Homo-oligomer: A and B are copies of this chain.
């Protein structure tokens, strides 16, 4: 098969980790007889520097003309401490999600048995954890009207959801639950927020279409606790954009394998794959960033976007092998030999 893949390296360590995912994907393509054409395009601070905006139309055109998008990371500290900056890298990310219609962000958290000692949690707490968040990605307070009034003295952000937005996300949640252990947790703050009450009543109304799925409803603050206490008690969780932002990051570190967690964002047509970790500016250019989350995002891409499970499995296998043989970056080296970002990528590609 032939694929065009939009390649959005982005900022910070983005370009370095993306390079490794490209190498590994090419090796898989070669092995299975596929042909990938990579279509690099600008995003984030890199795009602001080059053309003045973080998600240029040219980049969007590349994405819609591709079969999938592989994405690195976005964000630069130069913008973070300047609350008055007019253009920000993150706006590019949000615009991209919106324009590509990527309303469902799939973020798994699972454990690698060989890395369980990396978890900040005690082994008995984390063991067996295998959960997936479905985070709504194109609505809520991220996209509602925001601004200032009273000469800048008052700021506001509007959180808005329609029933249809909740339904399409929840549908993906129910479907995912059906392929797993048939447990779905709807995370909201229905005791305070009207949008959460809409979420809860919409999901409640959908329960009868999926009689086999056992649905629970939990408040976001309670989930923030239980994720630390008993993460292995969860399976599929659905939630709105901002809660998803906070909880998926929290979940990603409990496994101790933050540098290994991939994610997918999907909507109607195109899907985007990216590591959960951010642009990690301090590590930029040092050849120390862990490329495995991006490599595993490429595995998700083969499986989900191209429906090629064997190719995905080949990537997962070689990642497991690198972990078993200690061909890892310093974050996983446990005082042993640490390989560079590039060296890990080379090893993975060579061992596919």
Using CB atoms and an 8 Å cutoff, list the residues of chain A in contact with chain B.
75, 79-81, 83-84, 88, 90, 94, 120-122, 125, 141-142, 144, 146-148, 150, 152-164, 189-195, 197-198, 200-201, 204, 217, 219-222, 224-225, 227-229, 242-243, 245-247, 249-250, 252-254, 258
Contacts and interface: CB of A to CB of B under 8 A. Distances in A.
Contacts of A192: 90, 94, 141-142
A52 to B, nearest CB: 19
B253 A228 contact: yes
Contact of A253 (B80, B163, B225): B225
Nearest to A250: B224
Contacts of A125: 120
A161 to B, nearest CB: 6
A75 B139 CA distance: 29
Contacts of A201: 83-84
Contacts of A254: 228
B158 A158 contact: yes
B250 A225 contact: yes
Most buried by B among A84, A157, A217: A157
9 residue pairs, one from A and one from B, having the closest CB atoms: A155-B198, A83-B197, A224-B250, A221-B249, A146-B194, A83-B201, A90-B191, A155-B194, A155-B195
A162 B157 contact: no
28 contacts: A80-B190, A80-B191, A83-B198, A83-B200, A88-B191, A90-B192, A122-B122, A141-B141, A142-B192, A150-B162, A153-B163, A154-B160, A154-B161, A154-B162, A155-B162, A156-B194, A157-B195, A158-B159, A221-B246, A221-B249, A224-B250, A225-B252, A225-B253, A225-B258, A228-B253, A228-B254, A229-B253, A246-B246
A334 B219 CA distance: 28
A162 B158 contact: no
A146 B141 CA distance: 13
Nearest to A200: B83
Given A120-B125, A190-B80, A191-B80, A156 B142 contact: no
Given A120-B228, A155-B194, A160-B155, A217 B249 contact: no
B247 A224 contact: yes
A229 B159 CA distance: 30
A197 B155 CA distance: 8
Contact of A194 (B148, B197, B198, B224): B148
Contacts of A222: 249
B224 A246 contact: yes
Contacts of A198: 83, 148, 154-155
A351 to B, nearest CB: 31
Contacts of A75: 191
A194 B145 CA distance: 10
Nearest to A249: B221
Given A189-B242, A224-B249, A227-B250, 10 more contacts: A83-B204, A141-B159, A146-B193, A147-B194, A156-B160, A158-B159, A222-B249, A224-B247, A225-B258, A243-B246
